[in-house]
Structure 1
Amino acid sequence: MEHVKKREEISKEFTWALEDLYQDQAAWSEDLEKIRKLAQELYSCKGTLVEGAENLKKALNFYSELNQRFEKAYVYANQLLHQDMANGESQKCSGQVQVLMNQVNEVSAFLEPEILKIPDEKLTEYLADEPFSEYRRFLEEILRTKEHSLSEEKEELLARVSELGRAPSNIYGMFNNADITFQPVKDENGNEQPLTQERYVHYLENKNREIRKEAFTNLYSAYKGFANTIAAVFDANVRQVAFFAKERKYSSSLEAALDGGNIPISVYTNLIRTVEEHQQPMQRYLELRKRLLGVEQLHMYDVYVPMIEKTEKKYSFEEAKHMVLNALSVLGSEYTGLLEKGFHERWIDIYENEGKRSGAYSWGAYGTHPYVLLNYQGNLNHVFTLAHEMGHALHSWYSDHAQNYLNAGYRIFVAEVASTCNEALLIHDLMEKTEDKKEKAYLINYFLEQFRTTLYRQTMFAHFEQEMHQKVEQGETLTADVLCDAYYALNQKYYGEAMVSDDLIRYEWARIPHFYTPFYVYQYATGFSAAIAISSKILAKEEGIVEKYKAFLSGGCSMDPIDLLKLCGVDMEKKEPVEEALKVFEQYLTELEKLV
């Protein structure tokens, strides 16, 4: 296995074009000064909004321009940091924009309270006027959440306190990406190989069970050594979320988190209940996995290795791009043309390097193209990651080009739909093109793993989150023992008797960064369900579905996310999309059982 390269050893063609945001850090620093001036211009509008439409429009213009410019500066600084989390200069830049974010929030804090002081009949009159058309949705959302808005003084206080609220996430991010290290893993020849966050799953896919077991043991033993510290950070994060929810008069942190997208709590609870009611197919799947692997007991380190024996195949990044382009051709030439644009114009930071942020994501700033961070290792999973993240990227592209700044940012609830739809289309294309039964069985195995890791596992994470936040709201403290015991119990519940829940799996909660964005992960499961529904319609060539799908992609936050999905004929207020996805899981499982 190659050594992990330093950032400066990576060829420019394989890195993202941050210069499309700012030519250099000097230009970025200049923009920070402009942002500070804009912030003061916005603040000068304080106390004038009730005086007439012109003053309100002026303040909204400043607010939109300020946030758009700040977003660009914030994205640049943090993507610079994510290239190498250990780079001191990048850490300094990221710290600067974190402080600036607090200042921007402070000067903006008066806006909503003052808007809410405008008499309802007058505000309704403004909403009907053409000059306010670009701000109509923004103002309507403020009115919708009126009962959770606070006095001007309290809004300013919460804006200042928000910097402290971000501390647990920042601390955990530094620990998990830059500080924690793991004991190496011995390969088949007895040579020690580095164990990193990115290479962990690679080891779990190894056919050698001892390598899988050692990687599992070494990774979670490292987290076990810091369990009390991480638990304190986890507890602090849950408490800061509860604090802000309570101050804004929400009954729970869950209600506060879902209210941003106007998502009914029943969507969350229905997901957990529906998956809990469909555990039997997962037990069938695990029993099949145990039989095909030829093991007496199935352990947690046995769930990622392919069940179907196959020569391990590597895909160059060029091959990965062609595979994704071919599979997504069903979405039309406009869509694939945008994909090629992203591939050729360095939207993507492709390979792993020392200190680089783990995982993968798509991000960007309004007015520039989206960006994608990868840590590409060349396996099939990473080909799917490319399709997934480019789904996010093109979702952003369509929304940004169809909506003004304040209406462009799509809600988290629909954030995983486009990405997962791409994955579903890719797996279907690959299965259609193979005539080899063994190859098809391997691909079905891969697809079933997406159901296990996304629909089942992310729902388990959501269940864990709900329980932990409820404990804090009931006055309990989340110690390492409390977190470990609760997580272990849920792991046993979701994997059942077909799986040995190894003791070290009780520390898995400690390595999940998404828990620091509370109540995010359930949307992987709901998004997966919606994506299966939409991709099925696309593959069935339902009349008008591609255009309806593009309308969904272009919606941004101009509509509630529940209503955006209804454009494609998917209603997430009902349990049918989740049940239908679970039926697809059973169908593919039955097909695999026949093939093997």
Structure 2
Amino acid sequence: MVKNLPNRSEVPIEETWSLTDLFAIEKDFDAALEGIKNEVTSFVDNHKGKIDSASTINDALKTYASIYEKIVPVGTYASLSLSTDQTNTEAQMRASKFGSLSAKISSQLSFINSELVTLSSEVIQEAIQLSPEYEHYLTKLLIKKQYQLHPEVEKTLAAFSTTFNAPYKLYGTTKMVDLSFDNFEVDGKSYPLSYVSFENDWEGETDTAIRRTAFHAFSSKLKEYQHTTAVTYDMHLQIEKTNADLRGYDSIFDYLLLDQEVDRSLYNRQIDLITKELAPHMRKYAKLLQKEHGLDKMTFADLKISLDPTYEPKITVEESKKYIKDALGVMGEEYLGMVDRAYDERWIDFAQNKGKSTGAFCSSPYGHHPYILISWSSKMNEVFVLAHELGHAGHFYHSNKEQNIFNARPSLYFIEAPSTMNEMLVANHLLKNSNDPKFKRWVISSIVARTYYHNFVTHLLEAAYQRKVYERIDQGLTVNADILNEYKREVLEDFWGDSVEINEGAELTWMRQPHYYMGLYPYTYSAGLTISTQVSRRILSEGQTAVDEWIDVLKAGGTKSPAELAQMAGVDITTEEPLRDTISYIGSLIDELIALTDEINQN
């Protein structure tokens, strides 16, 4: 039974993460803020107007890196403390305090890039020869040189950075603070509803009447906020469009893809191929769910149900540790040591409480250990979610240790490969250790319903919808709730065809996803999973060689492009082959589910 969520102060401390590794007490946080202010002032005095040679470039970047390393934990502390309880006034004020500081120092430090781009390529190359560790930073800067504005304009834009980030903050406040759900009733019985309970429980509820009523109640409440949320999103889109136009990009897509180090063909291919070629497989899966549950019809509200709800193991946090360590054992002792520390040293926030951010994420501040947020529901499915976030943690645990702060983060295009890799390793391990048809069906259905549905369907359809939105914005137009609802419904109907009824409320799904405030992020989930599917299959067939190459990829951080990182792991993403092969693999999994179901039903 789903219960009303407790306040943050009421959850057991052992279920929460410990942010004291960042700052032991609030005074330390305030002292760090003051120290950063002073260092930035000193940096400006010592370097502004004086970056004119290879040696002065490297001196400036060395000090800038040091300042950046001190800013990261401060920003992380402010962000993470708010993410666990967005109703907490103290956390709100702390985040605002950091936001104000961040905008001020971004403006003060904007001169660095402005001065660097005025220097000749020869001077930049000389600086790279003297200090190769700054090659990646300087090379990327040269690529962006044509889009750099006048120094005073850059300084002004940087000063407005907090204002430009306001739509995302406003979205989160509306979603997690203002939006409050009433209980819903089925057959005279009342059930509590919240964002967390809907996404963790009611969306996958086996009782059809309860599930569909919960969906209707949830969607009805979202609808009350659709216009405010649409205006908030449009504000964000117009900021991005203005930035792209001011800087002289041909399109908003070019502006957003530049940092990802991929061209538009890879972006479009990911969306177009999956929309066209995965749809028939997923429609077959939807029909299987409908048949097994004896549904009168398959609706959008039914897509998250388990194929076999009677075989959904419950699992404690402590039990999850053994499953994950056994599954990730192939990654080696150092990796497993990181997993142990994540549990033992409270890197993970498991609690469910009011005001906590929905979903799950991993924050990996440079120079510090990662932090993982998850709302533990005790379902075995959470093992895949936690393994996913530990994949991010393992990635940055390695890259942060091996690379400097400028080189640690890879392109957004690649960011979901290490996380989805861990989901594949968990699935491979579970399948290898049982021949029981019911257990095999549960594992495979978990891969399809969680790993592939989440990354190749949910996020991919978000990407297809997002592309429609950006194409409209690129024409100089705006969006409102009606337009966004129409676009979302079109994408859903196109993918599911007549196999799934897109019931009222499904079009509001765009309101649930914060990724839209993070550029072209949604499509990268399927891009990352394409890479990890191929590499995980290599690990199954080649063993340690493939593992060692993957660890080297993690250590490389952002020093190579996504195509180069994938190539290191034996995958060529410049061709359609890996994506087509992955889609085919998903199809084979669904066919196996159908065969296993027939076998089970005959016994």
Range of TM-score over shorter length: over 0.9
Change (3 A) 1:214 1:92: same
Equivalence for 2:107: 106
Asked if 2 retains the 8 angstrom alpha-carbon contact of 1:42 and 1:107, the reply is: no
What root-mean-square deviation, in Å, do the aligned CA atoms of Structure 1 and Structure 2 show? 1.6
Equivalence for 2:601: none
Residues 126-137 of structure 1 aligned to structure 2 (within 5 Å): 126-129=127-130, 132-137=131-136
| Structure 1 residue 191, shift from structure 2 partner | 3.7
Worse overlay, 297-306 or 243-252: 243-252
Asked if 2 retains the 8 angstrom alpha-carbon contact of 1:200 and 1:215, the reply is: no
Equivalence for 1:146: 145
Equivalence for 2:420: 420
Residues 22-171 of structure 1 aligned to structure 2 (within 5 Å): 22-44=23-45, 45-50=47-52, 52-129=53-130, 132-171=131-170
| Structure 1 residue 221, shift from structure 2 partner | 0.6
Given the two structures, how large is their TM-score scaled by the length of structure 2? 0.95
Equivalence for 2:208: 209
Equivalence for 1:247: 246
| Structure 1 residue 233, shift from structure 2 partner | 0.8
Asked if 2 retains the 8 angstrom alpha-carbon contact of 1:416 and 1:528, the reply is: yes
Equivalence for 1:310: 310
Could you report, residue by residue, the CA deviation over 1:235-265 in whole angstroms, capped at 9, with x for unpaired residues?
Answer: 1111111111122221222211111121111
| Distance in 2 (alpha carbons) for counterparts of 1:567 and 1:369 | 26
Could you report, residue by residue, the CA deviation over 1:376-416 in whole angstroms, capped at 9, with x for unpaired residues?
Answer: 11112212111011111111100011111211123222211
The AA in structure 2 aligned to 1:7 is R
The AA in structure 2 aligned to 1:225 is E
| Distance in 2 (alpha carbons) for counterparts of 1:41 and 1:60 | 14
| Distance in 1 (alpha carbons) for counterparts of 2:272 and 2:193 | 41
Equivalence for 1:502: 503
| Distance in 2 (alpha carbons) for counterparts of 1:327 and 1:185 | 40
The AA in structure 2 aligned to 1:480 is A
| Structure 1 residue 197, shift from structure 2 partner | 2.9
| Distance in 1 (alpha carbons) for counterparts of 2:429 and 2:495 | 30
Matched, 1:564 2:570: no
Worse overlay, 241-250 or 450-459: 450-459
| Structure 1 residue 417, shift from structure 2 partner | 0.8
| Structure 1 residue 542, shift from structure 2 partner | 4.5
Equivalence for 2:351: 351
| Distance in 2 (alpha carbons) for counterparts of 1:555 and 1:136 | 14
| Distance in 2 (alpha carbons) for counterparts of 1:406 and 1:380 | 38
Equivalence for 2:437: 437
Indicate the SS of the match to 1:554: helix
Could you report, residue by residue, the CA deviation over 1:109-136 in whole angstroms, capped at 9, with x for unpaired residues?
Answer: 111121122222222222112xx22212
Asked if 2 retains the 8 angstrom alpha-carbon contact of 1:186 and 1:193, the reply is: no
Equivalence for 1:14: 15
Asked if 2 retains the 8 angstrom alpha-carbon contact of 1:201 and 1:304, the reply is: no
| Structure 1 residue 198, shift from structure 2 partner | 4.3
| Distance in 1 (alpha carbons) for counterparts of 2:343 and 2:257 | 35
Equivalence for 2:600: none
Query: Aligned residues: percent identity?
Result: 26
Residues 74-473 of structure 1 aligned to structure 2 (within 5 Å): 74-129=75-130, 132-186=131-185, 190-278=189-277, 279-449=279-449, 450-473=451-474
The AA in structure 1 aligned to 2:441 is A
Indicate the SS of the match to 1:407: coil
Uncovered stretches (5+) of structure 2, i.e. residues with no partner: 598-603
Asked if 1 retains the 8 angstrom alpha-carbon contact of 2:198 and 2:218, the reply is: no
| Distance in 2 (alpha carbons) for counterparts of 1:503 and 1:11 | 39
The AA in structure 1 aligned to 2:308 is I
How many residue pairs match? The answer is: 593
Worse overlay, 452-461 or 544-553: 452-461
Worse overlay, 330-339 or 75-84: 330-339
Matched, 1:479 2:464: no
Could you report, residue by residue, the CA deviation over 1:438-495 in whole angstroms, capped at 9, with x for unpaired residues?
Answer: 2211222221113223112322111111110111221222011111111111110011
Equivalence for 1:539: 540
| Distance in 1 (alpha carbons) for counterparts of 2:85 and 2:397 | 26
Worse overlay, 483-492 or 189-198: 189-198
Change (3 A) 1:384 1:114: same
| Structure 1 residue 47, shift from structure 2 partner | 0.8
| Distance in 1 (alpha carbons) for counterparts of 2:353 and 2:404 | 36
Worse overlay, 263-272 or 279-288: 279-288
| Distance in 2 (alpha carbons) for counterparts of 1:432 and 1:56 | 54
